[in-house]
Structure 1
Amino acid sequence: MTDPELDTPVLDDHLHLDPDAGRGLDAVRDFRRLGGTHLLVVNKPSWHLGVEADAGEDFRAVFERTLEVVADADDLLPGRAWPVLGVHPGLISRLVDERGRSAAAARDLMRAGLDVAAEYVRDGRALALKSGRPHYDVPEEVWDASNAVLRYALELGAELDCAVQLHTEASEDLTEIATWAEDRGLSAHRVVKHYAGATLAGPTPSVMCRKEWLREAAERGDPFLMETDFVDDPDRPGAVMGPKTVPRRVRMLRSEGYDDAIRLAHVETPARVYGIDTEATLTG
């Protein structure tokens, strides 16, 4: 059942769960207790789970561990939890700067990891892919290699008919990426800018739950999602936002009369972007 105070699906579009070193399912319980119903769980960066990949197959351990915690989260929620799998764009710097790989070799390894992630989407075990490019300054060859990885993820999204979540630099205009998606046969609205502000041209914004950003998104009336980017890292307990934040912000929007925006963010946009029905998947 949904929280009686909310009486709506409540989806966090992007967070991480670490059942081994972090809060794991306790974070899911906090989310549910405040009225949360649905989660999109993105695998943590591979090296955060102790995987220093040398081949695409090395990412499989990261994806399998993510599927395990998503299955456990799914059992706890009144709605559903879905995995989003991919290769964090920051890996390219780790490969080039710390492990001595060329930008081209790093590009090829990351694309191989995306191929493995695509297997899980293809067989229905994952909902969407994750990719992107660094949000910090990098040398030109690293930037070009990162964009090649990003474009490859968009190609896979088109092939699989699935959404692609992106980690990129802060921007209000990513129409270039939207054009890359459209050119490859993936509708721009199925590209999601993770950690977005309220204003974004091109992809669908997954808006970080800052109160002012959510109010602006609600006023604009364009499709948007809500997220915390909860990192579940015991070494960074105050990083980004906690798992209770999305349901708390839904309460805030409800109290301020933004009922249409709540439905847009938690029912209509998830259906449009991911093809999921957050109402029909509620049980109990």
Structure 2
Amino acid sequence: MDDLDTPVLDDHLHLDPVNGRNTEAVEEFADHGGTHLLVLNKPSWGLGVEVEDAEDFREVFDLTVQAVEDATEVLDGRAWPVLGVHPALISQLLDRGYEPEEARDLMQAGLDVAAEYVAEGPALAIKSGRPHYDVDEAVWAASNDVMKHAFELGGEVGCAVQLHTEGGEDFADVAEWAEDRGLPRERVVKHYSGGRMEGPVPSVLADKDELEVAVERGEPFMMETDFIDDPDRPGAVLGPKTVPRRVRWLLEEGHDEAIRNAHVETPARVYGIDTEATLE
């Protein structure tokens, strides 16, 4: 596959070193012109870890850090881990008999551990959010408290926070919660976003229609596949070659500036990473 002559970053992808394709998926990304990855840890239960205390999250995080090291070996650029607690964990914990407040406390403690990985080096950013499905008021409140705690940690250790939330285009209030806790709104990323977003920086699912909206807006954005690396769902959500393919398409359409926005300028602004300097 010919070189795209630009860094190509997938802002949100999962690798599963236990059950999935793992490095093989990274090779597919690289073969199509992909250079950089942000690798999110899979939900703890997806890696077979039943969390009962904060220390249990370390097993999940360590597996992801190792997967990232292996990924970096095959990329022209590099990969970085983004570590955190999937917001749907609250429902798993409730099913196991936890009260919403107890679940909140355990999830916040897991985020404390993720922030430690950022402060001490291997991780780039934190992941948090709130359920993308209907929950009762107590669970919603507890989930918002977890997300606010992630913002506090991001402000303390100086890193971005990626959010997994319900759908929609207006998260201005969420960006304000971050700013109130010392985290600038340009360091809050809404994963699985459409092309239009108020508040956080959109990490746009690499769908042509949504990318056209993001390009047209001209605001900071990034691109992602949310590849799940689940052998039972091989292409879910999008396959690892999708972002490089969409970059090639956008370049053919003459959107060079948008590519620079999504793969060089916005990653630098949000995460403090240099996707050009880290290319071999």
Band of TM-score, shorter chain: over 0.9
* Aligned mates of 1:237, 1:137 — CA distance in 2: 27
In structure 1, what is the equivalent of residue 21 of structure 2? 23
* Aligned mates of 2:166, 2:77 — CA distance in 1: 32
In structure 2, what is the equivalent of residue 181 of structure 1? 178
In structure 1, what is the equivalent of residue 35 of structure 2? 37
* Aligned mates of 2:149, 2:247 — CA distance in 1: 35
In structure 1, what is the equivalent of residue 259 of structure 2? 262
Q: CA deviation at 1:171?
A: 1.1
In structure 1, what is the equivalent of residue 105 of structure 2? 108
* Aligned mates of 1:147, 1:184 — CA distance in 2: 13
Alignment partner of 1:79 is 2:72: no
* Aligned mates of 1:131, 1:20 — CA distance in 2: 22
Structure 1 vs Structure 2: percent identity of aligned residues?
A: 68
Does the aligned pair in 1 maintain the 2:227–2:235 contact within 8 Å?
Answer: no
SS at match of 1:240: coil
Q: CA deviation at 1:5?
A: 4.2
Q: CA deviation at 1:19?
A: 2.0
Structure 2 length-normalised TM: 0.99
Q: Deviations over 1:22-44 (max 9, x none)?
A: 11111000000000000000000
* Aligned mates of 2:37, 2:52 — CA distance in 1: 30
In structure 2, what is the equivalent of residue 234 of structure 1? 231
SS at match of 1:7: coil
In structure 2, what is the equivalent of residue 122 of structure 1? 119
Alignment partner of 1:191 is 2:188: yes
Q: What is the identity, as a one-letter code, of the residue corresponding to 2:119?
A: R
RMSD: 0.8
Q: CA deviation at 1:20?
A: 2.2
Q: What is the identity, as a one-letter code, of the residue corresponding to 1:198?
A: G
Matched pairs, number: 280
Q: Deviations over 1:81-135 (max 9, x none)?
A: 0000000000001111x20110000000000100111110001110000000000
Q: How is 1:212-223 mapped onto 2 (pairs within 5 angstroms)?
A: 212-223=209-220
* Aligned mates of 1:5, 1:99 — CA distance in 2: 50
Gaps of 5+ in 1: none
Does the aligned pair in 1 maintain the 2:18–2:47 contact within 8 Å?
Answer: no
Alignment partner of 1:278 is 2:275: yes
Q: CA deviation at 1:238?
A: 3.3
Structure 1 length-normalised TM: 0.97
SS at match of 2:199: coil
SS at match of 1:166: strand
In structure 2, what is the equivalent of residue 89 of structure 1? 87
In structure 2, what is the equivalent of residue 250 of structure 1? 247
In structure 2, what is the equivalent of residue 58 of structure 1? 56
Q: CA deviation at 1:266?
A: 0.1
* Aligned mates of 2:236, 2:65 — CA distance in 1: 24
Q: CA deviation at 1:62?
A: 0.3
Q: Deviations over 1:203-239 (max 9, x none)?
A: 0000000101011111110000000000000112232
Moved more, 62-71 or 229-238: 229-238
SS at match of 1:56: coil
* Aligned mates of 1:58, 1:5 — CA distance in 2: 41
* Aligned mates of 1:118, 1:186 — CA distance in 2: 14
* Aligned mates of 1:184, 1:239 — CA distance in 2: 34
Gaps of 5+ in 2: none
SS at match of 2:55: helix
Q: What is the identity, as a one-letter code, of the residue corresponding to 2:243?
A: V
Q: What is the identity, as a one-letter code, of the residue corresponding to 1:271?
A: A
